[in-house]
Amino acid sequence: METQLDPMKDDLPLMANTSHMLVKHYVLDLDVDFKSRVIEGFIVLFLDTGSRYRRASSTGEEGCQFDETCKIRASEPGHVLVSDASLCSSKTKYNDFAVCGKGEKDTSDKNGNHSNKEQASGISSSKNCCDIEHHGNKDFLLVLDCCDLSVLKVEEVDVAAVSSMEKFSGSDKLTDVSKEMGNLRNHIVRELVSLPSDRWKEQLDYYTHCSQAPGCGELLFTTGTWSLEIRKSGIQTPTDFPHAIRIWYKTKPEGRSVTWTTDQSDRPCVYTMGSPINNRALFPCQEPPIALSTWQTSVRTAASFVVLMSGENSAEPVQLQEGIMSWYYYVTMPMPASTFTIAVGCWQEVKQQSFTPAVQTNNEFSLPFSQADFRWHEESCGHVEYPCRFQNPAARLQRVIPYRVFAPWCLMKCCEEHLLQLVPQCLSAAYTTLGTHPFSRLDVLIVPSNFSSLGMASPHIIFLSQSVLPGGSHLCGTRLCHEIAHAWFGLAIGARDWTEEWISEGFATFLEDVFWARAQQLSHDEVKAQQELKALLRWRRLRDEVQNSEEELQVLR
């Protein structure tokens, strides 16, 4: 049996071998079923070889260039690139293999996984998990972070069968590539993921068509407590491993990445809570924060539900059949998979019902132009290429990005009175302080009462607890400012290691006071008095927590 983790002492295992292959883009196609409390469908992963393997290949050397940095570092448990045998105990039992051979008996178990003892013998033990590049006669193993999922099938995607991809296969770069179909498919994916950022719309369209391409052979896989491991027989290096794979799976009702519950109006809903295991029980992924990817998602559910998600577009539902609607979102800024967020429920959009001068005036535009933005006219960003708003002149002038507020029906009136008018004020104050908003739009959702925090920020969407509403504009405003600050610190800029998340929390906590003071348009003396009072209260709370809590509770995991 696999060792069970003690949440008080053990860190979340990051199993994905990101140094050898990186997911560049996810395409999710999902159905949400509230009767069974299951999300089911498929995910297509578009992969590229990782930086460490590329460096090894460029030297002309075969085999893995492992060094001490591959091993687990006690000082950086959130930055583990798993290639150490200590995380891959030989005690681990692998018996959930997919059967690729024709005519073989389907041995699916009750969880929808498959087993085949003959096939399992190839990698029945993971004690040599670090030897993933064919030391001896072993196949390359793609390792993804995954738990509480029923994986039904894994297959290679025949991207070469997509007619619109002929322009990539006919590239001059193909002259040095073998005409063997596997290499051709991988070449197409490499060309696709490397398209320049000004062709992002075209790229998303290609991803969509490729995700719908037929499969061209099932892949062997095994599921462990914390991982999904995939291999193709005879493939021994990341370069030759399929660069586009499709995983058919379904979540389990007890899965810990999402919560199935009812909202404050007693209607069913499901949402990602930002759980300690992140999104690995929602879809197989690479979870180390250094693994940055883009994604696009289609979600189908009953017509009575609204799907909100991390996405640059404000999705409009499309009716597929009577009673079933489809929602589509996409993200073009590479982000950690842990930031993917979804909320499906009978949410109601809160809109201003009557003309209110305090809300409808242009006060939010009267603040001075952000001095921080002047330098971006002269300097370029240093991040990986994507359609960056900091280089977009129109975005640099956008003081208040488009926003929406959603809530359960019974809280709509309260949100209209306390929250709706605060959003543009807080967004404007953030712009005045930090400049261009990193994200193009914002949804704010009042989540169910079982939400364990006051708020949580994700790309394009903020979850707020109902607890901030009765506190009047001050509590609601300061919390909203805190979560807006995370757009810069925590999302656009994030810690390489999860144990350093306190850095982004520190910036957000500091900036919430700055934003909120500007949103209220306080005088200098009022700002100083408010900040000194809050600093004193925070110091006393920190002192009391340190004096009255066990040491283990003071360690960030």
Active site members = 483
Residue 257: both structure tokens together: 């990445």
Strand ordering across the sheet containing 306-309 = 258-262, 268-272, 342-345, 306-309
What contacts 222, CB < 8 A, 6 or more positions away? 94, 95, 96, 97, 120, 123, 228, 229
Place of tokens 């590229």: 48
Residue 271: both structure tokens together: 């949402």
Distance separating alpha carbons of residues 532 and 555, to the nearest angstrom = 27
Distance separating alpha carbons of residues 49 and 65, to the nearest angstrom = 14
- CA distances 92 to 123, 207, 222, 233, 280, Å, are 11, 36, 11, 21, 19
**N- to C-terminal Cα separation, the chain:** 24
For helices 181-193 and 200-211, the axis angle rounded to 10 degrees is 150
Q: Which residues of 430-451 are buried (b: 16+ CB within 10 A; e: fewer)?
A: bbbbbbbbbbbebbbbbbbeeb
What letter represents residue 173's amino acid? K
Beta-bridge partners for 245: 45, 156
Name the percent of the chain in helix, strand, coil, to the closest 5: 35, 25, 45
